[in-house]
Amino acid sequence: MTENVSSLSDERIAYLEGLVRQGKTAAAVFTQFTQHDVDRIVKAIVLAGLEQAQYLARLAIEETKLGVLEDKAIKNMVATEFVYNYVREKRTVGVIREFPERGLVEVAEPIGLIFSITPITNPTSTVLFKCIMAIKTRNAVIFGPHPKAWRCCQEAIRIMYETAVKHGAPEGVFTCLESPTIPDNAYLMRHKEVKLIDATGGPGAVKAAYSSGKPALGVGPGNTPVYLEKTAQLDMAVVDIITSKTFDNGTICASEQTVVIDDEIYDLAIKKFADLGAHICDRKETELLGRTVIDPETGFMRPMAIGQKATDIARASGLRVKPDTKLLIAPIEGVGREHPLSVEKLFPVLSVYRAKSVDEALRVCVDVNHAGGLGHTAVVFSRNDEIIRKFSEAINAGRIIANSPGSIGALGGVYNDMVPTFSFGCGTGGGNSTTDNVNLYHYLNIKRVARRTQAHMWFRVPNQIYFNMNAVENLRHFPSRSTLIVTNPLLEQMGHVDLVRRSIPAQTAIRVLSIPDAEPEVKVVMQGVEALNLHKADQIIALGGGSVIDAAKIMKLKYESPEADLEELAAPFLDIRKRVVQYPTEKINRVRLIAISTTSGTGSEVTPFAVLIDKEGGRKVTLADYSLSPDVAIVDPQFVMSMPPGLTADTGIDCLTHALEAGVSIHASPYTDSNAMQAIRLVFKYLPIAYEHPHDEEARSMMHNAACIAALAFSNASVGVNHALAHAFGARFGVAHGRANALMLPHVLAYNASVPTKFMPSPNQRGFIAHKKYATMADLLGLGGVTIAEKVKNLVAATEELLDRLKIPRSIADLGISEEQFERAMPDLAKIAFDDPSWRSNPRMPLVSELVELFWSAYRGRSPAKPGSVAEPVTAKEWSCV
């Protein structure tokens, strides 16, 4: 390429630079044109092209000596009228497509200056086609026609250019190389002002285009296989193949090359070809023909045969044929160098192959496809859709033409609804960047305006929630044949199970499964599944704290869908709607799950989460899916009246953490905000009373409600980094979940209220608002303060005060964990906390180093870092700013 360019004289370079300058200016000026301007010019040049179709065809025939005058005229008309029919309504200026439901708008940007190579086989039609595309898309073109078709192309370009300029197109919009040479092409292909190369030409030109380092459109060589299957409409197929293969003497590279015919119809098909003017070669004639039209050295067709008449080719080959012979048909017995006629033949010579089976036919078609025609075109004639499907899967071709002529079919718009073109993209098989019929969209840069969309949100909760004292009596509304009560030994001892039994309808067979009062292990879950199967249960009543209810959720999952793989279902995800692993929807059993909570913290009776202990990994595995949510929740305070103070404090702070984290979650919504806020208010008011006066029925009742209400919030808004830290720390050091949360809470509040090192992507929120929401919480709790920073500080202080009042240890060190011990654990703690899905909805994206800092703050306790928020006043109105 470099050598080629260096052979150019200074004079020639100046000439080429002049073309580039004109084209560049025209392209720049063209950017100002409107759709109306463009459409007016397009219509004018189309009419000019149509008017001169026959004239240009005659010029092409005279200059190239290829093809058929009438067919070239038809091609010129297709290149204008049919292409116009396709482009006339298309928008190519400004906004060209809108997808309001997706918030997307596509805006056209012209490419600029295009260098376009045109072929010898379809010279003027390709020029007309490209001129229309260029004007429609506001681009300028320098044409580099095939040297042996230069004059006819130059005339076509002149006609289009003069008409375009007359109708307002920029001067210099089309230019044509005079006496084009390969060095000219090389120079222009590498020119920095040429923005795209559109190479409709031979393999050399296409390769040069792709090697230039420029964006390029290219075409590939063809070798179109045709499968003539036994169910085909034979009369139609034979006429179509003859029409196509003889069209312009076979110069269209999509034309048929080898027809593979099913044995059952082979003889009849051959007879029909012969009846309609084809000469069927015998073995000797086939050999003679092959030697004449195919170069044995290269294995490719000889240029002298391209676009010539069948009779002329027969004469040159020494064949005696009737004077009206339109097609030479040569039977072949295989594909490859030993069967010379199995390659591309851009003249009216067609090879045929007799196939004994569908498999053999497909194999031969694949062989033909791979013998120089990858990515181009293939044809199938069949009335069997399954055969067409198999063919389309087996053959690598950008155009698979079914039951119509290959060449005219591939052009598009005549026999089918494909985009009309004179440039066939052949994909990677043909060394091209596209398999499309090259069209106006390839002449555009398409810009996409993507408007911010709000992700669909939800608020999903159990169907029924019964609350207040004696709510358990509502069990009588749920008929069951066989019920399994899942609980723990202590609750059985306390008589809670009997309370439940009394409310279950009399005819129900009731079994009780008592499981350890600890986060469930897989083996415990499987015991439950065994019991459910044994008793063919149709109802589970989970009576207990979070551990029991979580166990029951997983029992239900495994009972209904035994194939559910818990390990797989625990796979991490970022967005529950887009998760990779889906929960099973096919169920072999159906069971109702009623959850009765005996603590006021986890809210497990309404959540879609379940925690399982992975003993081997030393971690908690969180399952999350709305299918895990209990069907019915009973929030009856009589089951929590005897909770010991420590448990009351820990579970109460767990509840508060749920509400605070849901409140600032990036998935928070007005629906979850209302629940989160109410829960926060109830906890601050009633938790100290429930802790200090355990028999206060109102306080117990309100705290029980608060736990459930906070859970409604975080079931839909999720939690945050506090939970990620607490999960890792609690599992490692055997600290109860609520207490682990409490140790982290003041530090996380301060952290979340500060300007993030990294913001969380949150399409549903308008800016960073966590600090403002904390301030609003402080307002609603009546904590005072004027600026956001003051209010956040007051919220942190109130939380610390509450923790003190509940006598909760205020540092990890207070638990007796040594600094060395904690330091040793830190790498694992940080890793596990970072892997925990809980923080994915946190308003700040935590860096691992920040998780480490938070752990150390919690270790040292007290004096959380001061939130570094802005100090503007904030009002309660901002609460609903999500």
Partner 1 sequence: MTTNPMCLKIDPERVALGLQQEAMEMVKSAEGELVLDFSSVLRIDSNVAGALEQLAGLADNRSVKVVLRAVNADIYKVLKLLQLAQRFSFRS
Binding partner 1 (rule: CB under 8 A), the pick from 123, 144, 145, 172 is 172
- Which x/- pattern, by CB under 8 A, does the window 178-217 give for partner 1? ----------------------------------------
- Cβ distance 837 to 624 under 8 Å? yes
Distances (CA, A) of 644 to 465, 517, 763: 25, 15, 43
Distance CA 20, CA 32 (A): 19
Residues contacting partner 1: total by CB under 8 A: 13
- Candidates 75-83, 170-178, 551-559, 827-835; binding stretch for partner 1 (CB under 8 A): 170-178
Neighbours of 15 (CB within 10 A): 14
| Rounded least distance, CB 113 to partner 1, Å | 10
Give the contacts of 482 (CB within 8 A, at least 6 positions apart). 508, 509, 511, 535, 536, 537, 538, 539
Give the dihedral sign, CA 417/423/424/427.
Answer: negative
| Rounded least distance, CB 34 to partner 1, Å | 10
| Rounded least distance, CB 189 to partner 1, Å | 20
| Rounded least distance, CB 22 to partner 1, Å | 8
Q: Which is nearer to partner 1, 40 or 291 (CB)?
A: 40
Binding partner 1 (rule: CB under 8 A), the pick from 19, 24, 762, 793 is 24
Of the candidates 550, 515, 717, 742, which has an alpha carbon nearest to the alpha carbon of residue 630?
Answer: 550
Binding partner 1 (rule: CB under 8 A), the pick from 67, 119, 144, 170 is 170
876 Rama sector, left if φ>0, alpha if ψ -120 to 50, beta otherwise: alpha
Q: Which is nearer to partner 1, 37 or 614 (CB)?
A: 37
Binding partner 1 (rule: CB under 8 A), the pick from 32, 454, 463, 507 is 32
The structure tokens listed for 385 are 């859709």
| Rounded least distance, CB 29 to partner 1, Å | 5
- Candidates 27-35, 341-349, 438-446, 840-848; binding stretch for partner 1 (CB under 8 A): 27-35
Q: Which is nearer to partner 1, 173 or 653 (CB)?
A: 173
**Any alpha helices (H) in 52-100, and if so which ranges?**
53-64, 69-77, 83-87
Distance CA 878, CA 199 (A): 60
**Is residue 315 within a helix (H) or strand (E), and if so which, with residue range?**
helix 310-317
- Candidates 165-173, 381-389, 504-512, 658-666; binding stretch for partner 1 (CB under 8 A): 165-173
The structure tokens listed for 471 are 């709510």
Q: Which is nearer to partner 1, 138 or 700 (CB)?
A: 138
Binding partner 1 (rule: CB under 8 A), the pick from 19, 20, 27, 702 is 27
Binding partner 1 (rule: CB under 8 A), the pick from 25, 54, 482, 622 is 25
Q: Which is nearer to partner 1, 92 or 487 (CB)?
A: 92
| Rounded least distance, CB 27 to partner 1, Å | 7
- Which x/- pattern, by CB under 8 A, does the window 56-95 give for partner 1? ----------------------------------------
Residues 287 to 316 in contact with partner 1, rule: CB under 8 A? none
Is 447 an interacting residue with respect to partner 1 (CB under 8 A)? no
- What backbone torsions phi and psi does residue 826 show, to the nearest 5 degrees? -55, -45
Q: Which is nearer to partner 1, 22 or 80 (CB)?
A: 22
| Rounded least distance, CB 227 to partner 1, Å | 50
Distance CA 528, CA 595 (A): 15
Query: Helix or strand or coil: residue 4?
Result: helix
CA-based end-to-end distance of the chain: 60
Distance CA 331, CA 235 (A): 20
Query: Helix or strand or coil: residue 783?
Result: coil
Tokens 């590498």 -> residue: 190
Binding partner 1 (rule: CB under 8 A), the pick from 26, 68, 591, 748 is 26
Is 17 an interacting residue with respect to partner 1 (CB under 8 A)? no
Q: Report the amino acid identity of residue 551.
A: A
Neighbours of 516 (CB within 10 A): 13
The structure tokens listed for 57 are 């065809």
- Candidates 168-176, 607-615, 697-705, 764-772; binding stretch for partner 1 (CB under 8 A): 168-176
- Cβ distance 844 to 722 under 8 Å? no
| Rounded least distance, CB 43 to partner 1, Å | 21
Is 28 an interacting residue with respect to partner 1 (CB under 8 A)? yes
- Candidates 19-27, 268-276, 628-636, 683-691; binding stretch for partner 1 (CB under 8 A): 19-27
Is 31 an interacting residue with respect to partner 1 (CB under 8 A)? yes
Distances (CA, A) of 528 to 53, 297, 521: 83, 79, 11
The DSSP bridge pattern shows strands 509-514 and 592-597 to be unpaired
The structure tokens listed for 810 are 């205020």
| Rounded least distance, CB 35 to partner 1, Å | 14
**Is residue 621 within a helix (H) or strand (E), and if so which, with residue range?**
strand 619-624
Is 764 an interacting residue with respect to partner 1 (CB under 8 A)? no
Q: Which is nearer to partner 1, 111 or 709 (CB)?
A: 111
Query: Helix or strand or coil: residue 763?
Result: coil
Query: Helix or strand or coil: residue 678?
Result: helix
Is 171 an interacting residue with respect to partner 1 (CB under 8 A)? yes
Q: Is 281 a catalytic residue?
A: no
Tokens 């609350």 -> residue: 467
Q: Which is nearer to partner 1, 38 or 350 (CB)?
A: 38
Per-residue burial over 761-772, b = 16 or more CB atoms within 10 Å of its CB, e = otherwise: ebeebeebbbbb
Binding partner 1 (rule: CB under 8 A), the pick from 5, 13, 29, 366 is 29
Using alpha carbons only, give the angle 255, 257, 261 rounded to the nearest 5 degrees. Answer: 115
Is 566 an interacting residue with respect to partner 1 (CB under 8 A)? no
- Which x/- pattern, by CB under 8 A, does the window 100-139 give for partner 1? ------------x---------------------------
| Rounded least distance, CB 97 to partner 1, Å | 22
Q: Strands (DSSP E) along 242-348, which ranges?
A: 256-262, 278-280, 327-331
Find the catalytic residue in 152, 253, 281, 426. Answer: 253
Distance CA 44, CA 24 (A): 23
Q: Which is nearer to partner 1, 28 or 47 (CB)?
A: 28
- Which x/- pattern, by CB under 8 A, does the window 651-690 give for partner 1? ----------------------------------------
Q: Which is nearer to partner 1, 195 or 326 (CB)?
A: 195
Distance CA 368, CA 292 (A): 20
| Rounded least distance, CB 39 to partner 1, Å | 17
| Rounded least distance, CB 31 to partner 1, Å | 6
Neighbours of 394 (CB within 10 A): 17
The structure tokens listed for 303 are 């240029």
Residues with catalytic function: 253
| Binding positions for partner 1, rule: CB under 8 A | 22, 24-29, 31-32, 112, 170-172
